[in-house]
Amino acid sequence: MSHDHDHSHNMNSLPRSRLRIVFTITFLFMIVEAVVGFIANSLALIADAGHMLNDVISIALALIAIHLSGRKNTKPELTYGYKRVEVLSGLINGVSLILIGGYIIKEAIERTVAAEPIEIQGKLMLTVAFIGLLVNIVGILLLKEKKDDSINMEGAYEHIMADLLGSVAAIIAGIGIILYNAYWLDIVASVIVSILVLRSGIKITIKAVNILIEAIPDGFNIHDLKNELLSIDGVDGIYDLHAWRLTDGLDIVTAHINIYDETMYQQVRNTSTEIAKTHGFHHITFQIETQPCEDPVMNCCSI
């Protein structure tokens, strides 16, 4: 009987300075956009500010993840350190985005059915939306080069790309309001941004919940892994096979592998570990056994 562990938890070196710059300019402009949105009566600007909140939280999570991943764990009861903090923060992020998106859509419906259209200061709206577009472009240029370095960087980059679309929608609405007094364009733009916010919020919430309940990692087929392990020469059976994601970048798999010849132990251990690595697992625990499972508590027949 033996345990095999493979640990590869090293996190890529991330450009903290770039993230901090993007975080600062995005945070400051988010406040400006929210304030001006209320002053100009522009629901589109308020919605875009809500989406920028998503960007701010996403970048903050990336910075926190970098900090915590490099922090020495001094508490023995925290066997995985602080890696799950990012998941909890992600859940709060996702739920808050859903609430923001829902609020903006509610406001849009109320404005649509209102007897008189709400007058919107188109020039002020257009000016702020254009500045917002520039802020998003700066953020994209700063993160584009490193967006594939980690899931945190990629997430921050994708959020800013989506926010850029919100700025474009607000610009179009502002032009329409200035030229044609088409106040309804503000409602259309706000709904578009709200859909982006809700989409991000639902996606983040589902992802966080799946991680917290230790569901199978996205895109992974546990039956394929089982079949590959069973195809290894010397393997007689697989039981108690489990796979889950502890946090982004740390997938775990465990299993009991029964072999019919103990001389095949080393070969089975090495091959099974390599197979698990090809499926993207970072923490691998395979218990190699020569005795068949007869304990019903271990649920020998399960995958």
- Residue 59's nearest CA partner among 99, 15, 14, 22 is 22
Q: Which helix (H) or strand (E) holds 219?
A: none
User: Helix, strand, or coil here: 55?
Assistant: helix
Which tokens in the block code for residue 79?
A: 């066997």
Residue 77 has pLDDT above 80, yes or no: no
Residue 80 has pLDDT above 70, yes or no: no
Sheet bearing 283-289, strands edge to edge: 2-7, 283-289, 250-259, 235-247
pTM score over 0.95: no
The full set of domains in the chain, from first to last, is: 12-212 (1.20.1510), 216-298 (3.30.70.1350)
Alpha helices in the chain (DSSP H): 16-40, 43-69, 85-113, 122-144, 151-180, 184-212, 222-230, 265-278
Which tokens in the block code for residue 34?
A: 């929210």
pLDDT single digits (tens) 146-189: 766 655 566 677 778 778 888 888 899 999 999 998 989 999 98
Residue 12 has pLDDT above 80, yes or no: no
pLDDT single digits (tens) 227-280: 999 999 999 889 889 999 887 778 999 999 999 888 899 999 999 999 999 998
